[in-house]
Amino acid sequence: MSDNATAARRSAIYLLDQILGDGRLMSECLAAGALERLAPEDRARAQRLALQTLRGLERADRLLDNHLNRTPALTVHNALRLGAVELCHGEAAHGVVNSMVEIVGRSRKHGRLKGLVNAVLRKVAAEGPEAWPKMRVPRLPEWLRDPLIMAWGAEAVTGMELAHFEGAPLDFSVKPGATAPGEMLPTGSMRVRDAGQVSALPGYDRGDWWVQDAAAALPVRVLAPKAGEKILDLCAAPGGKSLQLAAAGADVTALDISESRLERVRENLTRTGLMATVIAADALEHQGQYDAILLDAPCSATGTIRRHPDLPFAKDGSEFGALIELQTQMLAHAWTLLKPGGRLVYCTCSLLPDEGEVQVEEALQMYPDMQADRVALQVAGVEAGWITEEGGLRLRPDYWPGTGGMDGFYIACLTKST
Ligand SMILES: C[S@@+](CC[C@H](N)C(=O)[O-])C[C@H]1O[C@@H](n2cnc3c(N)ncnc32)[C@H](O)[C@@H]1O
């Protein structure tokens, strides 16, 4: 087993320790430099291994429980979990077992457990690969599963869990007149199943396309930007939707509170050769009058679990109340920035109705000059059953089963009376 593979595994275990032990998101660990010392390909491998382990965690724990009298220290448990997942995905047993024994054996605190790691993983290697596909699809934790069942029903949630387990393909939005690799989806986005390194794909350097989930591309399709319109993207970073607006020829203001995240917007604009005015500011303090506004509000991000399986483990729902309050305030302030006759698209990448349907229902009651525009939702590929009672669009990861699903999203187009 190469030193590089062991280094990637050690870093994957470190990520799992942070996520499962300290409740940190993978993105926070990466931003804090968790993988900085690895070569780029080992970094990608460590990340992939940690994500794969989180997706299969429930199954790995069931297999391991058969051979553990008590739960070992978290980092040893995570080494076993990673080993079990790799073995059940067909990785050669000697490489996985030796690597995990070496990693645990070198730990001053847990070195004495290397014999246990060796014995348990050998048993998993013997029985795991056959048992794995027969085990149930891993479930969401109850704090999230229960409200989702309440909102969408048990069958839908089982479908979502399957989509989470399968992970997400890579979708692209394409600049007008350019091309991107992959198959075209009903909504016009392009999809690649096993993309590998994104920056090596044709057209990346020319800025012909950018990575954006098919569901995440729909808010701007619903907004239907026109050339020359003055449009505010109120929570813009990392910028996928600002790029769509700019590609339509709109006069775009891309605002976000996070200077570091806005750096990504600037990089994306440079690579694609598109233009927008970039502003670092609090959306609640921004002033101006716009023809159209996109409010992609900060939210629980529960619609993105296919790509971020760390989220259900790192969070417990306790922060969501404050986010819901912030969304209400942002929608109220954004409404004051919209010209009469203008349109505002409100969206969140959340599966929770409190961050979507309920926000819009309450806003429609609160503002007499606000109407939900159902016709705007009828863009290519949108199915009639996705339109909600109050006139929004509900997208779920269990939609498009078999073709890779889509992120969970809520989208509404709100027009202001003249
Ligand atoms: C869902 S993300 C936006 C994704 C983006 N629209 C895109 O398509 O790439 C939400 C964004 O809201 C920003 N944000 C959070 N609070 C904010 C505030 N008070 N004012 C402006 N932006 C805020 C976050 O920094 C984050 O970038």
- This complex has an ipTM of 0.99
CATH of domain 170-416: 3.40.50.150
CATH of domain 3-134: 1.10.940.10
In degrees rounded to 5, what are phi and psi of residue 304?
A: -110, 20
- CA-CA-CA-CA dihedral for 396, 399, 403, 405, to nearest 10: 10
Question: Is pLDDT of 195 > 80?
Answer: no
CA dist., res. 75 & res. 261, Å (int): 31
Q: Is 393 helix (H, G, I), strand (E, B) or coil?
A: strand
Annotated binding residues for S-adenosyl-L-methionine, written as ranges, equal 235-241, 256, 296
How many CB atoms sit inside 10 A of residue 259's CB? Answer: 11
Domains 3-134 and 170-416 in one fold: no
Sign of torsion over alpha carbons 221, 222, 223, 225: positive
Q: Which residues line ligand 1 (CB under 6 A)?
A: 235-241, 256-258, 261, 282-284, 296, 298
Give the residue numbers annotated as catalytic, written as ranges: 349
Confidence of residue 402 (pLDDT cuts 50, 70, 90): confident
Confidence of residue 194 (pLDDT cuts 50, 70, 90): confident
Confidence of residue 4 (pLDDT cuts 50, 70, 90): confident
Q: Report pLDDT digits (tens) over 197-243.
A: 898 899 999 999 999 999 999 999 999 999 999 999 999 999 999 99
Confidence of residue 251 (pLDDT cuts 50, 70, 90): very high
Q: Report pLDDT digits (tens) over 304-318.
A: 999 999 999 999 999
Question: Is pLDDT of 1 > 80?
Answer: no
Atom of ligand 1 nearest to the CA of 216: 8
Domain boundaries, the chain: 3-134, 170-416
Q: 50 alpha carbon to ligand 1 midpoint, in Å?
A: 26
> Which of 173, 232, 235, 294 to mutate for ligand 1's pocket (most ligand atoms within 8 Å of CB)?
235
pTM of the model as a whole: 0.96
Annotated binding residues, written as ranges, equal 235-241, 256, 296
Q: 65 alpha carbon to ligand 1 midpoint, in Å?
A: 41
State residue 217's pLDDT score. 98
> Which of 173, 256, 282, 320 to mutate for ligand 1's pocket (most ligand atoms within 8 Å of CB)?
256
Q: 72 alpha carbon to ligand 1 midpoint, in Å?
A: 40
CA dist., res. 106 & res. 93, Å (int): 20
Cβ-proximal residues to 259 (8 Å cutoff; 6+ apart), any chain: 280
The mean per-residue pLDDT over the stretch 60-84 comes to: 97
Cβ-proximal residues to 40 (8 Å cutoff; 6+ apart), any chain: none
